[in-house]
Amino acid sequence: MDFNGMLSKTRDLAGSASDTVGTLLDDFNAALPAMRALGFTVEDIQIAMGLLPEVNAKLVAAAANIDVNALDEMIRKRSQQKTLIAVLQALQTAYNLRDQLGDFGLKGVVVDVTLGLPPRVGIGFVKTVGIASSFAPAA
């Protein structure tokens, strides 16, 4: 294959990847109201451009404000929203593991979502009281 043919295939792949990321972004935007209802705030968004573009978003909340038992109902009600379901299931798993580890004084929870090929959801718990308290709902 010559260089022009290879360049053309690369552009096709990049265009297809951009379309996929666009679809994932739409799904992420649809998930935001549910995440806000759980007490999460969007802390950071980064966009990376390369052969395969990706968008990374960090959402934070006070760890004590997440009702893990309520996540099952949300998953059941919003089964069509793939990004939201992935985040909610990751939260359930992370909280179950955290409960097994014991109390380390972790006050905040961070959801790290990467919209790209492949998409990824990471959950972290942080000790910093500033993060946890700044996102706690008002009394």
Considering the chain, what percentage of its residues have pLDDT values greater than 90?
A: 29
Question: Which of residues 20 and 104 earns the better pLDDT score?
Answer: 104
Average per-residue pLDDT in the chain? 80
- CA 76 to CA 23: how far, in whole Å? 22
- Copy the structure tokens of residue 114: 């990467």
Q: What are phi and psi of 47, to 5 degrees?
A: -120, 130
How would residue 133 be classed by pLDDT, with cut points 50, 70 and 90? very low
- CA 51 to CA 49: how far, in whole Å? 7
Question: Which of residues 93 and 130 earns the better pLDDT score?
Answer: 93
Q: What pLDDT, on the 0 to 100 scale, is given for residue 13?
A: 54
Q: What pLDDT, on the 0 to 100 scale, is given for residue 138?
A: 43
Residue 7 pLDDT > 60: no
Residue 134 pLDDT > 80: no
- Copy the structure tokens of residue 28: 């992420």
Considering the chain, what percentage of its residues have pLDDT values greater than 70?
A: 76
Counting every residue, how long is the chain?
Answer: 139
How would residue 117 be classed by pLDDT, with cut points 50, 70 and 90? confident
Q: Which residues contact 4 (CB under 8 A, 6 or more apart)?
A: none
The domain limits of the chain are 3-134
Residue 115 pLDDT > 70: yes
- CA 32 to CA 64: how far, in whole Å? 20
